[in-house]
Amino acid sequence: MKKRLIAMALCLCTAFSFTACSDDESEKKTEAKLTLGEYKGIKVDSSLSTVADEDVQDYLNSVLKKMSTEEEAKEGTTAKGDAIKITYSSTIDGKEYKSGEGYRLNLTEDGFNVDGFVDGLIGKNIGDKVSLDLKIPEKFTDTEVAGKDVHFDVTIEAKYVTVVPEFTDEWVEKNFAYVDCKTKEDLLAYLENDYYITQIYNEIWQEVLDNATVESYDSEQLESTIKEFKDYQAYYIYSYYGYELADYLKAVGVSEDDFNKQMEESAKAYLKQQMVVDAIAKAEDIVVTDEIYADKIEEFAKSYGFDSVEEFESVYEGEDFKTSILGYIVEEFVCENVVFEENYGIRNPIEEETTSAPATEATTGDGTSKEEATTGAQ
């Protein structure tokens, strides 16, 4: 598992920030220089030295929910909010219009584009055949039938239900042997430790970053980061919003200069984090051996639902997983070297994180998602 730690580590291997550089600036070649501040012995409140049983149970429940499966129930009654499977046909002016077989329908207000269709299927039994006489909306995309009467014949074939796995030793061994968990007690201990590391990380990592001072950034690395992030932003905005980057900024009322300034801050935050990780690793002689790499890459792959390391690496081809794993190990090292103090005060209560997205929702070095970095100026 270790969703948060893995997601955090993965962000270290992908550059996704950019800034605007003038011709004069781009010609000035600089190297990365950082003064590492205190990272061992960071004080945290003693309350963070333990994890409450209810927190572990909540964590387990989130894991079970994430690993739930969806099945088709052939019996039962439909209710608002359900997802059902239907087969339907329609006629307009006595002629066949549209039909669908094995169609998934959400019984919500926006589940179907003809008013009354969803309501007519709520409270019905699985297997029922339902006839509906309705009217096509006046502003329907197919203008030839807009506003006309329509007759539907619908068969409710099934209702989709979520099946939460049973928490047993067999289930644990089948799904978590890759982190040496074979019993329920093993997994609970693993989740407790992961929660502990997570809450410590959330408390102190920003302080570790704040304690370090960047004297200069590697200009070539920054330039490369600029290009990668700009390319991603253009792709993301066009894919999800249908805008070119310049048109999108104009549409949301953000100047190019302001956007570039915002992205520059994110870029530097990302690069600083990578520099801090490298500096701590060097100071503590932390290296990613072949054995450590093999263990962690398997954990990464399984955590993201891949059957094999090869499949995982092929999907994320080009990613520097060794850098990711180094970040993972350094973060754990720092968290394990905190000093607990009574009544020190909790600055950042833990926010449980159960998914990552790895490839679908990567974050910048300051914890900002790529989408937030793009649209935050709105």
Average pLDDT over residues 281-300: 92
Residue among 367, 346, 348 at smallest CA distance from 356: 367
pLDDT band at 375 (very low <50, low <70, confident <90, very high): very low
Cα separations (Å) of 326 from 12, 221, 331?
9, 19, 9
* Res 363 pLDDT > 90: no
| Residue ranges of domains in the chain | 3-68+170-375, 71-163
The whole-number average pLDDT for the span 251-279 is 89
Say how many CA atoms lie within 13 Å of 189 toward its Cβ.
8
**What single-letter DSSP state applies at residue 125?**
B
Q: Among all chains, which residue has been given the structure tokens 């600089």?
A: 30
- Residue 314 pLDDT: 87
Average pLDDT for residues 172-176, to the nearest whole number?
A: 94
- Domain 71-163: CATH class, spelled out: alpha beta
- 43-45 and 339-341 strand pairing: parallel
**Res. 267 pLDDT band, cuts 50 70 90:** confident
Assess whether pLDDT exceeds 50 at residue 227.
yes
DSSP class of residue 177 equals G
| pLDDT of res. 259 | 83
In this structure, what token pair is assigned to residue 82?
A: 């359900």
Q: Of 110-124, 315-329, 359-373, where does the model show the most confidence? A: 110-124
Only one residue has tokens 């905190």, namely: 338
| Tens of pLDDT, residues 9-64 | 344 333 333 333 444 544 568 899 999 999 999 999 999 999 999 999 999 999 99
Strand partners, 361: 357
Determine the Cα angle at 88 with ends 85 and 90, to 5°: 155
